[in-house]
Amino acid sequence: MFTARSLIRVGISLALFILFAAYVNGVLPLTLVDQLERSAYDARVKLAASGTTDSRIVVVDIDDKTLKEQGQWPLPRDKFAQLMDNLFNLYHIKVVGFDVEFPDADRSQDLALLDQLAGGALKGDPIFIAQAGKVRPQLERDKIFAASLQHRPAVLGYVFYPANSPGADQKLGQLPPPVIPDARNRYPLIEFPKSVGYTANLPVLEAAAAGHGYFSNAPDEDGSMRKVNLLQEYDGGVYGSLDIAILQVLENGAPVAFGFDQGTQDMGHLEDIVVGDAVIPVDDEMNALVPYRATAFKGFNYVSATDVIKGTASAAVLKDAVVYVGTSSPGLEDLRITPVGQAYPGVEVHANLMSGVFDNRVMQAHPQYLRGSLLILLVLISVLITWVAMTRSVITGALAAVGTGVAIMLGNLALWRYGSVVFPLMPPLIFLLALYVFHLLYGFFIESRGKRHLSKMFSQYIPPELVEEMDTRKDNASMESESRELTVMFADVRDFTSISEALQPKDLSQLMNEYLTPMTRVIHTHRGTIDKYMGDAIMSFWGAPLHYPDHAKYAVETALKMTGTLVELNKTFKAKGWPELRIGVGITTGVMSVGDMGSEFRRAYTVMGDAVNLSSRLEGLTKEYKVQILCSEMTKDAAPDFQYVELDRVRVKGKEKPVGIYEPLMHKDAVGKELKATLLRHKQALAAYRAQDWDGAEKEFFSLQQSNPDRPVYGMYLDRIAYFRGHSPGAGWDGVFTFKTK
């Protein structure tokens, strides 16, 4: 018998199922689910990529080398003619397709100059006219290129423009005949994607080529090329893409046909485009999914176009190959975003599709049974998770959810690998997660009472963000004092006394509130615990009560973020007429005592120890070295993901053991070549200084000072060197500078 609570659980499951069923049927868009599904598809493409090179297809690349040796783009047409002649006469390729269009006449100036002379000063010169007649055929480069195309299996590309796109009103060049001229009569039930404009090739070239195909451009909403469009309708006729045209040439002029799941158009759903023996699965928009071979481009042999023109390319690579002529040069703007690369040559997108057609690796994009199968899967998930949530423990429910998720992923991968079907992965997984989380939250907030132990223990001492995480992780946290390696930070406002004297008490209070609030937010966001505020100073630490090994990394990230936040704050302060603030930050990592400490009147969760004192001293030393952040060598070693510059080795007041002090600059990934060179020179200068090579150190520090005038530390070292020239530190000097004051 159903109870009220069980009916609520069933209602939750039913509501979520209706939501996702509406999404599956296209009634309700769920943008986030679509984005995640695209990411999951990309991951499966990368997982399935063989990483091997398909030697049957070769890309003749109009690369930077070609542009340097053969002339800037567009290349003279006689260069393409030479390319064609060598490809077929010297290298004996099978077919060539141009991922390049030729809508305009050759732009070389010599023919125009010849005509100008013939109609001008040399108009009546018989010798000139005779010689011009002999020279003209050599300068009519479009005709030369057209002649090289004739009687050869060569396919030229062109561009179609759909409605409401740039170029939609353009009709340039000679459009070739459609591959299906009477498409409306032959296939009245098929809705072909339509174009309204085009940029085609010169008539002389169009007439000479064996085939023509448009460049397919079907990016998803995020701009990634996961599929290629194969057929477009224009003015009642259907035209084929570059890849379709190449297949027709390879299949001896085979017509374009269609495959339906029930055999005929009237009975079935369109699933394939057929060209001879080639069968290409497509979706309702005539798009085929591209089976990328590699996780970076060049899954095919690339041959520079200039090497083909010169006849120096490898004959073994090109013999009997299907050749695509395209470009990888960034300057020619034919780079695409794909699932396997962010700057991927568009020509290789075509090559990957053709390779997949050859191997029957093109995935089924939209089988008729997909929607119904997905709805059935959602029903099964609903029944299973709801039943487990109502009858079993939380642990059993978690195991059931995880097991179901794993089964969905394994089944999906099996369909991908063995069935060549792209079955949606993220919709059932997100539905599973949402259903499980809703049931879990219902059980937590409705069926359980009271607060958790960790929340009661720590809520008055530490940020609520860490309390919630401890509550989730159920760490064995305790208020008892213990020794633990932590990272502690002191941050102090510079010249605060002068600032406070210049402001009215009300303004000073408001300024500090507007300073401390964002700084505290930065610390909390990076998992830090505020120990205390000391006037204008903030003391905080990382690594307790919630233990995590990378506490030093979070502390350094916090310090860098604080200095960046202060820049924005100062803009606001300046607009209000307040003084701009400068801070000094000291950070160190070490073993210290942490726990609930104090008296019977007042207690706090805090840290104590030598490392805490050292952090305070480092904050003070920022004034000496004129930097915003100083950290100890212990912190630097514990947070290696950042770029540091070593400033000195010092003995601070109250400690005999020297410590290396460093200034963190940025994350290592952001370091440029110029900064790396400066840091190397800095390191060499320090080495010379500690070796008492005063001349070498002075030279390096002076050079660094000249190129980095905003770094006072170099002037400080020059002053020390000047002093040591007259007061030698002795042979046993360890290079450590001792500070006598705090």
Rounded CA gap, 636 and 642, in Å?
8
Residue 462 located in a structural domain: no
Domain boundaries, position 376: 4-48+369-447
Residue 472 located in a structural domain: no
Q: Kindly state whether residues 546 and 651 are assigned to the same domain.
A: yes
Give the pLDDT score at 111. 54
Last residue of a domain, one of 638, 666, 694: 666
Give the pLDDT score at 500. 86
Rounded CA gap, 470 and 547, in Å?
9
Q: Kindly state whether residues 183 and 324 are assigned to the same domain.
A: yes
> Which ranges of 86-195 does DSSP label H, i.e. alpha helix?
110-118, 126-139, 141-149, 183-186
* Closest-CA residue to 737 (of 729, 536, 24): 729
Q: Kindly state whether residues 347 and 377 are assigned to the same domain.
A: no
Last residue of a domain, one of 428, 447, 466: 447
Residue 268 located in a structural domain: yes
Give the pLDDT score at 299. 80
Q: Kindly state whether residues 277 and 399 are assigned to the same domain.
A: no
Q: Kindly state whether residues 564 and 593 are assigned to the same domain.
A: yes
Q: Kindly state whether residues 701 and 580 are assigned to the same domain.
A: no
Parallel/antiparallel/unpaired status of strands 537-542 and 482-493: antiparallel
Q: Kindly state whether residues 407 and 316 are assigned to the same domain.
A: no
Residue 471 located in a structural domain: no
Give the pLDDT score at 450. 37
Residue 364 located in a structural domain: no
CB 197 within 8 A of CB 168: yes
Say how many residues make up the chain. Answer: 742
Give the pLDDT score at 116. 59
Rounded CA gap, 742 and 620, in Å?
7
Low-confidence ranges of the chain (pLDDT < 70): 1-5, 107-139, 217, 263-268, 296-297, 333, 366-368, 445-480, 600, 740-742
Q: What is the pTM of this model?
A: 0.58
Q: Kindly state whether residues 658 and 684 are assigned to the same domain.
A: no
CB 68 within 8 A of CB 310: no
Last residue of a domain, one of 608, 642, 666: 666
Q: Kindly state whether residues 148 and 34 are assigned to the same domain.
A: no
Torsion of CA 278, 280, 284, 287, to 10 degrees: -120
* Closest-CA residue to 588 (of 631, 530, 526, 550): 631
Rounded CA gap, 566 and 514, in Å?
11
Q: Position of tokens 């929340």?
A: 455
Residue 484 located in a structural domain: yes
Residue 455 located in a structural domain: no
Rounded CA gap, 43 and 611, in Å?
46
CATH number of the structural domain spanning residue 643:
3.30.70.1230
Look up residue 512 and give its two tokens.
Answer: 């500090």
The H or E element containing residue 596 is strand 583-598
Give residue 570's Cα distance to chain centre.
33
* Closest-CA residue to 346 (of 360, 332, 358): 332
Look up residue 5 and give its two tokens.
Answer: 């609570």
Give the DSSP per-residue string, 186-232. H-TT----B--EEE-B-HHHHHH-SEEEEPP----TTSB--EEE-EE
* Residue 668 backbone phi and psi in degrees, to 5: -60, -35
* Residue 125 backbone phi and psi in degrees, to 5: -80, 110
Rounded CA gap, 410 and 217, in Å?
32
Angle (deg, nearest 10), helices 394-419 and 370-391:
160
Count the domains in the chain: 4
Q: Kindly state whether residues 714 and 612 are assigned to the same domain.
A: no
Give the DSSP per-residue string, 418-447. HH-B----HHHHHHHHHHHHHHHHHIIIII
Residue 496 located in a structural domain: yes
Q: Kindly state whether residues 289 and 247 are assigned to the same domain.
A: yes
Q: Kindly state whether residues 327 and 196 are assigned to the same domain.
A: yes
- List residues bridging with 199 in a β-sheet: 159, 172
Give the pLDDT score at 117. 55
